[in-house]
Structure 1
């Protein structure tokens, strides 16, 4: 079997998506997805550069092809390259699983569990609106709820106001929902070290499952100080591109949970290695999965095959994102995600539906602080 073509498709549904199709001379194709939202053109350009390395190659040699894509440019690169490799790597695993007639989790060592706990996204303009969203989610069967700091319509990020609002939301949700519903707060790198410390200490009594990205990922050493000042479990990693970038967070025990994004951090090949790093430090996976159904499938197969798993992000359940375009064997029930075990990733492309999702390039929200300086979204 040989790779004959690599195609990219831009589309827009609830957010922009970049899907990759790797084709072979035996008619078996694989699907992948890039996670670098708002930088799709850059990733597509990198895939175009990598394509000539891959045409004519054996798609079963996944590790060899990964090393070739990562190292052939000589200069170590970052998230654009790793996101391009990720999309191709997922597609190669999909091809191999389909060719061998087994689900991808069998290629990764077989299943370690039957299903994976998942969490949804909630939120509101006021604490009362967030509470109402939480009530609705729990009534649908969700066991874990996630939300993030708010900002106002003028796009100004008011740190202390956002922190105080989130503390009140924690108080309301824990009081109403009781101890059995898990609460996840994604600070989304919006907070300063002072704000993050204050916030984490204030919500300790409400027992978060974890607080995610309280600080910017470039500032790994900042987590050292934060760890010394709070008992709240910390999670990070969604912006990281590879095992080397994860290394200080893992080896210095700066996090409790690893937010690996398979569509940014080099695909399943690299994610499995990061998961192994994490296992040696008793760090569980809480994978970052904010985009489409191919990403969801890849995350699910990683989680089904890994011993150290906490939860999987799931903002859209099976059938809720591009359902006419991507068919999937995923099953969600009562807060848990699993699949039927169809060959490959269990996803197929209905190419005629691509025209239903015309692409328009979008930047992520641009926030500012009161003085007009840039603030992370």
Structure 2
């Protein structure tokens, strides 16, 4: 069909009230289908032959990885779908819904597969569906890289930098322990350190072993901080008083060369956040993370006007309705979204591109409950994104490295990508099966509940 045939068909459609529309039987559809294979001319036509989930916990943390198998022998891809607190829900979404929806599709059509999967449930934008979609999406990028015999970062535009700068987690039961752990990080070559200290008598997020007051309801037992404990006690006022003292102590002990970060984890009010930021400005933070919960995004307009501290936000975001306004209005400095939580690499690269236009840097959420595949996907995007800010550091334990062969290397505070095709990671499925999800109440498949002394639940 040439250009004149196309124009003639369109004119017929207009004259007949749309009967010449773009249907499966129309000459236009036929012509499009005939032209479609040209982009991959010389390569065999691929189809998705199977999709499976791999559930494993080599370090006690529930990880969900999706494996997409093609009809080409030996060609498959891996993607991260880890939603630790709802891992079995993600498994069901992949196996019962997306798998039958996508079997037989061409894995080259990454964007179309993402968009059609997105609307396939009608109701959308939830963390379970997005993590399931992420596992498939990353796996398709892995396949495309393997097929092109290139690392995924090459498909995204090539390297802007040789490696990704990391930040290290330095926590402690008191200021001295935080200092010791920060010094260890600095000796290991890290230039950025996130510091968290326990508040005496209270549970603390991101700090070790603080003991709490009696649990909600007057239970006599002491609470120990940690996500496995559903009755951890927290009050924001003592925390707000303690934190500036921690930074004053660390600046005196560590000096000015190291970059210091902190995660509030949304546990303060707007007024407390404003006062806290004002008191912390003199200590020159690299960023302050999640000072407010996502439900209070509009408050960032007020907070932004009150402080010069760089603000990082987004760990709990799912949908563009949450992060686009903060980016477009320049209300944050770093975007902290969890890549699998927003639908995978395809969506994350759009977010990174958007951020560049508004001066926002990337700092993807990447603790231990992101699989090595997820870290590798984030790293590929970071290497190819001009506006990369920082990568959350995580050293993969030996058991994890045995299950996931080809984990990114960490040296001198940098994470380096492998030069192997795709993400460069494979999974030993037999070994992964030897690390099933832990039984009992570890995480209890849920994030631990933290409460005020009067029993009120605290977010998160």
TM-score (norm 2): 0.79
Shift of 1:14: 4.2
Spell out the pairing of 1:264-279 with structure 2 (5 A cutoff).
Answer: 264-279=341-356
What residue in structure 2 maps to residue 374 of structure 1? 457
What residue in structure 2 maps to residue 346 of structure 1? 424
What residue in structure 2 maps to residue 190 of structure 1? 267
Bigger CA radius of gyration: 2
What residue in structure 2 maps to residue 300 of structure 1? 379
CA distance in 2, matches of 1:145, 1:321: 25
Give the conservation status (yes or no) of the 8 Å contact 1:210–1:235. Answer: yes
What residue in structure 2 maps to residue 212 of structure 1? 289
What residue in structure 2 maps to residue 90 of structure 1? 138
What residue in structure 2 maps to residue 46 of structure 1? 93
CA distance in 2, matches of 1:78, 1:325: 29
Which deviates more from structure 2 when the two are superposed, residues 69-78 or residues 224-233? 69-78
Which deviates more from structure 2 when the two are superposed, residues 77-86 or residues 344-353? 77-86
CA distance in 2, matches of 1:35, 1:64: 23
Q: Of 238, 254, 261, which residue of structure 2 is paired with 1:161? A: 238
CA distance in 2, matches of 1:163, 1:66: 43
Give the conservation status (yes or no) of the 8 Å contact 1:293–1:321. Answer: no
1:282 matched to 2:356: no
1:142 matched to 2:190: yes
Shift of 1:321: 6.0
What residue in structure 2 maps to residue 327 of structure 1? 405
What residue in structure 2 maps to residue 23 of structure 1? 69
CA distance in 2, matches of 1:258, 1:241: 12
What residue in structure 2 maps to residue 63 of structure 1? 111
Which deviations, in whole Å up to 9, do the C-alpha atoms of 1:90-130 show, x marking residues without a partner?
11111111111100011111111111101121211112211
Shift of 1:163: 2.5
| CA 372–76 in structure 1, closer or farther in 2 if over 3 Å, else same | same
Which deviations, in whole Å up to 9, do the C-alpha atoms of 1:39-74 show, x marking residues without a partner?
112212221211111111111110010001101222
What residue in structure 2 maps to residue 254 of structure 1? 331
What residue in structure 2 maps to residue 8 of structure 1? 53
Shift of 1:147: 3.3
Q: Of 447, 452, 459, which residue of structure 2 is paired with 1:364? A: 447
| CA 284–8 in structure 1, closer or farther in 2 if over 3 Å, else same | same
Which deviates more from structure 2 when the two are superposed, residues 278-287 or residues 26-35? 26-35
Give the conservation status (yes or no) of the 8 Å contact 2:53–2:67. Answer: yes
- Long gaps (5+) in structure 2: 1-45, 204-209, 212-222, 224-231, 439-443
1:221 matched to 2:298: yes
CA distance in 1, matches of 2:56, 2:242: 35
CA RMSD of aligned residues (A): 1.6
Shift of 1:363: 2.0
- Long gaps (5+) in structure 1: none
Give the conservation status (yes or no) of the 8 Å contact 2:56–2:64. Answer: yes
What residue in structure 2 maps to residue 312 of structure 1? 391
Give the conservation status (yes or no) of the 8 Å contact 1:287–1:313. Answer: yes
Give the conservation status (yes or no) of the 8 Å contact 1:148–1:187. Answer: no
| CA 365–148 in structure 1, closer or farther in 2 if over 3 Å, else same | farther
Q: Any idea what SS the aligned residue of 1:220 has? A: helix
CA distance in 2, matches of 1:312, 1:170: 22
Equivalenced residue count is 376
CA distance in 2, matches of 1:246, 1:24: 34
Shift of 1:224: 1.0
CA distance in 1, matches of 2:60, 2:300: 33
| CA 167–34 in structure 1, closer or farther in 2 if over 3 Å, else same | farther
CA distance in 2, matches of 1:138, 1:14: 27
1:179 matched to 2:256: yes
Shift of 1:329: 5.2
